[in-house]
Amino acid sequence: MFSDESKFCISFGNQGPRVWRKRGEAQNPRCLKSSVKFPQSVMVWGAMWFGVGPLCFLRSKVNAAVYQEVLEHFLLPAADQLYGDADFIFQQDLAPAYSAKATSTCFKDHGIRVHNWPANSPDHNSIENLWGIVKRKMRYARPNNTEELKATIRATWALITPEQCHRLIDCMPHRIAAAIQAKGAPTKY
């Protein structure tokens, strides 16, 4: 099971089309593109396996206490439903809230085995690629407020198929081989 957080903004910045104009068209309305300096945004925690799991919209900065609440209310129920009493390995990055001593104790108390994951390795994490897929699918959505943004994220997340998740997980050996070949430098993944 893979998990991570991602930030979604109402204004998607430079992901839209570029504006090209000729000399003298500087103020022509069809040659202008508005931008937002500090767009409204939401931070989302999600989980995936051979399908997508629950989403949690975070209301505050993530510290160990907030993360443990996410685990209690979102991860554990999903893991119980999916795995029952069977063992599974949980993957997360090494954010301070995730690797805090209190968080490690929480995992031990619930009998969850956490994969020993290298620091700064987003190329290896399948859910990073999944967030990219969700954001690409949302590229042309233009929510007007954070509630519309959340609804768009939920709807887009629900469209992710188990096959897409399978492909992301199945290509892990290729991602790891590419990282080894690149000696830790960024890869196409």
In angstroms, the CA 6 to CA 154 distance is 13
Report the domain count for the chain: 1
Q: Determine what percent of the chain is predicted with pLDDT higher than 70.
A: 87
Higher pLDDT, 180 or 14: 180
Q: Using an 8 Å Cβ cutoff, are 21 and 31 in contact? A: yes
- Would you call 134 helix, strand, or coil by DSSP? helix
DSSP secondary-structure letter at 24? Answer: T
In a domain, 166, yes or no: yes
pTM of the predicted protein model:
0.80
In a domain, 25, yes or no: no
Query: How would residue 158 be classed by pLDDT, with cut points 50, 70 and 90?
Result: very high
pLDDT at 14: 41
In a domain, 138, yes or no: yes
- Estimate the crossing angle of helix 126-137 against helix 146-158, to 10 degrees: 120
In a domain, 161, yes or no: yes
What CATH code is carried by the domain that includes residue 88?
Answer: 3.30.420.10
Nearest of 58, 19, 88 to residue 150 by alpha carbon: 58
Instruction: Find the domain containing 40 and state its range.
Output: 2-14+36-181
In a domain, 45, yes or no: yes
In angstroms, the CA 130 to CA 164 distance is 8
pLDDT at 36: 60
pLDDT at 151: 97
Is 60 exceeded by the pLDDT of residue 178? Answer: yes
pLDDT at 148: 95
pLDDT at 77: 93
pLDDT at 100: 92
Phi-psi region of 176 (alpha: psi -120 to 50; beta: other; left: phi over 0): alpha
pLDDT at 168: 92
DSSP secondary-structure letter at 44? Answer: E
User: pLDDT digit string (tens) for 97-132?
Assistant: 888 999 999 999 999 999 877 666 666 778 988 999
pLDDT at 18: 58
In a domain, 19, yes or no: no
pLDDT at 115: 86
Amino acid residing at 169: I
DSSP secondary-structure letter at 91? Answer: B
Nearest of 95, 97, 140, 150 to residue 121 by alpha carbon: 95
For residues 36-62, give the mean pLDDT: 89
In angstroms, the CA 47 to CA 51 distance is 9
pLDDT at 24: 79
The pair of structure tokens assigned to 119 is 């620091």
In a domain, 131, yes or no: yes
Is 70 exceeded by the pLDDT of residue 20? Answer: no
In a domain, 23, yes or no: no
Q: Using an 8 Å Cβ cutoff, are 4 and 93 in contact? A: yes
